[in-house]
């Protein structure tokens, strides 16, 4: 347990020492969402209809932007080798790293979402469902994204490859999250979509850490 | 007593066979000096024997178990590779505290400061590593050899790179002392190191 707490502290310390990298996804998220009302006009009804999709697409793209650095530094400076040469299970170390990344890079996007919901004229009910979908969907994105990052970490130019691998995998999340937000706007039940998102999160949480650890070993081989 | 056994190990990189059918046994209290030209596969062999890379054939047995299967033994091994395993945004003390905790070493900050002082890094304990020279960073990485008191095997890939003569002498003495006390060391270096303990030289031939 002490080892995992140390990994968590290290990740937080590194994130706050590299604040500029930390701010990039948040700024990107804010800018993309601010551009939409300018591009499609201030019509309240149109903005409300597209709001869920806009926030979710912006969230996915912002997350991909910051995802690459998840294992990059550890791979280039040899810290990854030291993780794998410790008796602390690698899947637990990567799980802690992904959680720390979610906490410092993604949680701020979730916390900013009330402001952005206001920009896009979302109702209070729509906002709550958006918050549920973000809280259930963004950890899944982190976990799935980490598999992609660990597979491509040894490649020198993985810039475009990573989104090409990952974006298709996020389609189910995008469909269920926007469907839940649309359902609430039409005053329909949305429990099914939230349930599916929860199931995807639990499934990913069970399997992704082992897949990430294995992919890192393959990348180091 | 055998600490490390390499059984029928072969390695291929980019369709080139680096070495094949290696059978090596390393005993407790043995210094195994691996030599060979650039590209002969020394680093690949060291990575295979720590379990970081998988061989094309064969297996590595460390303390009686397959090195890839039994991770519990890994805290008894110290690996210093080409990459230092240190984050440049963290200080020497932070890097070593983190390493000690993940490797389940009971090391305190005064212990770390004492070792850093032995390695002539007084006053640099709390500086981010990016402000230290390559040799000083290497010394921080090598501090693990002093801090891991449970270790029974050191795997050192070119440990003398970037070090000054004084630190090279210190490291040679430390390696000799470790071997005399029953530890095993597998080492590669292009430098002529002087150890005060017996050493077994093994030359890895470059294969075309």
Contacting residues for B134 by C-beta, under 8 A, at least 6 apart: B162
Q: How far is Cα A138 from Cα A211, in angstroms, rounded to an integer?
A: 18
Test A78 with B75 for CB contact under 8 angstroms: no
Q: Which two tokens stand for residue A87?
A: 């008796």
Q: How far is Cα B8 from Cα B59, in angstroms, rounded to an integer?
A: 7
For B:141-180, CB contacts with A below 8 A are none
pLDDT of residue A137: 93
* Distance separating the N- and C-terminal Cα atoms of chain A: 28
Contacting residues for B205 by C-beta, under 8 A, at least 6 apart: B19, B36, B40
Test B87 with A6 for CB contact under 8 angstroms: no
- Nearest-Cα distance to chain B for A103, in Å, is 20
Tens of pLDDT, residue by residue over B50-104, are 888 888 888 888 888 887 777 777 788 899 988 999 999 999 999 999 999 988 8
- Establish whether this prediction's ipTM goes over 0.90: no
Which chain B residues have a beta carbon less than 8 Å from that of A5? Answer: 101
Q: Inform me whether the C-beta atom of residue A20 falls under 8 Å from chain B C-beta atoms.
A: no
pLDDT band at B154 (very low <50, low <70, confident <90, very high): very high
What is the rounded average pLDDT for all residues in chain B? 87
Distances (CA, A) of B192 to A130, B39, B166: 66, 19, 15
The pTM of this model reads 0.89
Tens of pLDDT, residue by residue over B126-153, are 889 999 999 999 999 999 999 988 888 9
pLDDT truncated to tens, each residue of chain A (221 aa)? 788 999 999 999 988 888 777 888 888 888 988 888 888 887 888 888 888 888 999 989 988 887 888 888 888 899 988 888 888 888 999 999 999 999 988 888 888 888 888 888 888 888 899 999 999 999 999 999 999 999 888 887 767 888 888 899 999 999 999 999 989 888 899 899 999 999 999 999 999 999 999 999 888 87
Contacting residues for A210 by C-beta, under 8 A, at least 6 apart: A91
Q: How far is Cα B68 from Cα B83, in angstroms, rounded to an integer?
A: 21
Test B52 with A14 for CB contact under 8 angstroms: no
Compute the Cα dihedral for B93, B97, B100, B102 and give only its sign: negative
Cβ pairs A/B, distance under 8 A? 88
- Nearest-Cα distance to chain B for A126, in Å, is 42
- Bridge partner residues of B10 (DSSP): B57
């Amino acid at each position: 347990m002490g080892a995992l707490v140390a990994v968590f502290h290290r990740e937080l310390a590194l994130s706050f020492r590299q604040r500029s990298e930390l701010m990039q996804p948040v700024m990107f998220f804010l800018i993309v969402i601010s551009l939409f009302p300018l591009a499609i006009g201030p019509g309240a009804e149109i903005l409300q209809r597209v709001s869920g999709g806009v926030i979710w697409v912006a969230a996915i793209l912002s997350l991909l932007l910051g995802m690459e650095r998840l294992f990059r530094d550890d791979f280039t400076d040899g810290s990854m080798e030291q993780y794998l040469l410790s008796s602390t299970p690698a899947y637990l170390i990567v799980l802690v790293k992904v959680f720390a990344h979610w906490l410092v890079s993604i949680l701020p996007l979730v916390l900013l979402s009330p402001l952005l919901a206001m920009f896009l004229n979302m109702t209070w009910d729509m906002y709550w469902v958006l918050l549920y979908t973000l809280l259930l969907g963004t950890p899944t994105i982190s976990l799935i994204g980490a598999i992609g990052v660990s597979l491509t970490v040894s490649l020198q130019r993985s810039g475009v490859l990573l989104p090409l691998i990952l974006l298709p995998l996020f389609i189910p999340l995008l469909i269920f999250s926007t469907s839940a937000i649309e359902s609430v706007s039409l005053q329909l039940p949305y429990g099914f979509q939230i349930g599916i998102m929860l199931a995807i999160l639990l499934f990913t949480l069970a399997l992704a850490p082992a897949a990430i650890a294995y992919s890192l070993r393959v990348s180091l081989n | 007593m055998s600490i490390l056994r390499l059984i029928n190990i072969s390695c291929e990189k980019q369709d080139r066979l680096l070495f094949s059918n290696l059978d090596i046994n390393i005993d407790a209290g043995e210094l195994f000096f691996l030599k060979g030209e650039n590209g002969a596969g020394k680093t690949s062999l060291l990575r295979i024997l720590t379990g970081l890379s998988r061989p094309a054939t064969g297996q590595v047995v460390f303390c009686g178990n397959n090195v890839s299967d039994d991770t519990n033994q890994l805290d008894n091994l110290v690996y210093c590779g080409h990459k230092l395993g240190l984050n440049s945004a963290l200080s020497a003390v932070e890097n070593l505290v983190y390493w000690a905790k993940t490797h389940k070493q009971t090391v305190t900050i005064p212990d770390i400061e004492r070792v850093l002082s032995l390695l002539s890094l007084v006053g640099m304990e709390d500086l981010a590593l990016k402000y230290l020279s390559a040799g000083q960073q290497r010394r921080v990485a090598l501090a693990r050899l002093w801090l891991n008191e449970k270790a029974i095997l050191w795997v050192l890939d070119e440990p003398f790179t970037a070090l000054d003569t004084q630190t090279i002498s210190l490291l040679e003495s430390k390696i000799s002392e470790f071997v005399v006390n029953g530890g095993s060391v597998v080492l590669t270096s292009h430098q002529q190191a002087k150890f005060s303990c017996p050493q077994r030289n093994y030359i890895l031939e470059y294969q075309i």
